[in-house]
Structure 1
Amino acid sequence: MDKISILFDLDGTLTDPYQGITRSICHAMASLGRPLPPQTDLRWCIGPPLKESFSILLESDDDSLVENALVIYRERFGSIGLFENKLYAGIPQALKKLQEACHPLFVATSKPWVYAQRIVDHFGLGQYFNHIHGSELDGTRTDKTSLVSYILNRESLDPSRAVMVGDRRHDMIGATANKVRGIGVLWGFGTQKELTDSGASACIQSPPGLVTAFSKKNSDK
């Protein structure tokens, strides 16, 4: 089997962070005295850079206000929200088989890497990954295009032998911009149309399908 370097999104791909993220968003909005959006309306906030989401929720381009919301969000998320999270069934088994097949595995998340590392460790997934990559708290590398570029350079990866796996359009756009193949997953927060319209070369229905997708036959396509 050919070795393919696989970059995994975190939220909506490895874990379901819905409760932790939405509760922390609501906490920030309430603290700022802003109308509290129903949690059911916040699925769209999972995946994109959070600063952009707060700008939309607050209906403001006031950077100081948005940054304040982000600080309040992180106060709750960093102590409570990141553990209000669930591992998708079948993910550890799929990662184990991909690792056994000698595919180098990386986390590529727009979430700050300091949080991503804690989440990965919390679920015992660190043993499967070569490295955890994410953004910085100052906003550096929150967009997937710059993040994927950074990982390719930092890890000396050949884009033609790398794949980005994620559940939102940002993952596919970031992959395409770096000449990396994008594969969408359908158990997260994006739709198949969103993913294919954004450049996904394939979409996978469930975690066990990840192993099949990276068999030699599929990797060579």
Structure 2
Amino acid sequence: MLSYDAVLFDVDGTLLDSAPGILSTLREVFCKMGTDISGVDLMRYVGPPLRRTFGEYSTDEAWIERATDLYRDSYAVRGCHMCKPYPGAAEMLRRLKDAGLILCTATSKPTQVVTPILEEQGLAPWFDLIAGASMDKSRDTKTEVIQYVLDQPLLQGKRVLMVGDRHDDMRGAAACGLDAAAVLYGYGSREELAPFKPRLYAESCQQLADLLLGAPL
């Protein structure tokens, strides 16, 4: 028996293995900005908002905006094409959609950035709403993105689940009063996610669909 009417999906690390393009673009930007990142584990920056990432290296707002712009310009040319759906992602979305669930994204990528990526990867048709951050700072955190999606008419009065792979997804869900599902095939570990007490864990896209459509939660 379904427990939810709608599912919000993070994108990076949940639907798409996008780390290669993100990491490549980050290295390029840090080099251009003259920032030494030797010894830095860049994987921790796969998922969180860009401005927060660059804010770890400078408190200068102009510097942060310059780095953000450089990243977006480069990513739009090359990095955005260096991703692929996780095994079973399209089939998972099809199964959930066929079961009558409303499907939306809630990603830290700006909406105008993530939409063509999902279209290129063949996942866009399954979504009722593709939503993400704004290009400016008006909707920049995962909590703000989730709340923006929840405010849309199609989700009013619905039981909603947030699905993601990083602590930002779990924290954003909790801040918005939602249950969360944690995927373990992405970029976050069980140790990172466990403190937020997600409603369920999934080792694969297939298992996530199975849990939502059949197994007790």
Does the C-alpha gap of structure 1 residues 123 and 14 become closer, same or farther in structure 2, counting only changes over 3 Å?
same
Structure 1: how far apart are the matches of 2:187 and 2:193? 10
Task: State which drifts further: 207-216 or 99-108.
Answer: 207-216
Asked if the contact 2:6/2:159 (under 8 Å) is kept, the reply is: yes
- 1:53 corresponds to: 53
Structure 1: how far apart are the matches of 2:168 and 2:130? 18
Structure 2: how far apart are the matches of 1:168 and 1:15? 14
**One of 115, 127, 133 as aligned partner of 2:125:** 127
- 1:197 corresponds to: 195
Task: State which drifts further: 148-157 or 88-97.
Answer: 148-157
The answer to whether the aligner puts 1:44 opposite 2:44 as a matched pair is yes
Map 1:1-221 → 2, pairs under 5 A: 1-2=1-2, 4-37=5-38, 41-56=41-56, 58=57, 60-158=58-156, 161-215=159-213, 218=216, 221=217
Which residue identity does 1:176 align to in structure 2?
A
Asked if the contact 2:96/2:213 (under 8 Å) is kept, the reply is: no
Which residue identity does 1:9 align to in structure 2?
D
- CA-CA distance at 1:160 after TM superposition: 6.4
RMSD: 1.7
Asked if the contact 1:97/1:211 (under 8 Å) is kept, the reply is: yes
TM-score (structure 2 length as normaliser): 0.93
Structure 2: how far apart are the matches of 1:64 and 1:198? 34
Structure 1: how far apart are the matches of 2:188 and 2:148? 24
- Three-state SS of the structure 2 residue aligned to 1:131 is coil
5+ long unaligned stretches in structure 2? none
- CA-CA distance at 1:91 after TM superposition: 0.5
Structure 2: how far apart are the matches of 1:83 and 1:126? 15
- CA-CA distance at 1:83 after TM superposition: 0.6
5+ long unaligned stretches in structure 1? none
- Three-state SS of the structure 1 residue aligned to 2:137 is coil
Which residue identity does 1:145 align to in structure 2?
T
Does the C-alpha gap of structure 1 residues 70 and 103 become closer, same or farther in structure 2, counting only changes over 3 Å?
same
Identity across matched positions, percent: 32
- Three-state SS of the structure 2 residue aligned to 1:214 is helix
- CA-CA distance at 1:198 after TM superposition: 2.1
Does the C-alpha gap of structure 1 residues 37 and 72 become closer, same or farther in structure 2, counting only changes over 3 Å?
farther
Give runs of ≥4 in structure 1 deviating > 6 Å. none
Structure 2: how far apart are the matches of 1:10 and 1:147? 12
- CA-CA distance at 1:189 after TM superposition: 0.8
Asked if the contact 1:159/1:179 (under 8 Å) is kept, the reply is: no
Q: Count residues with an aligned counterpart.
A: 216
TM-score (structure 1 length as normaliser): 0.92
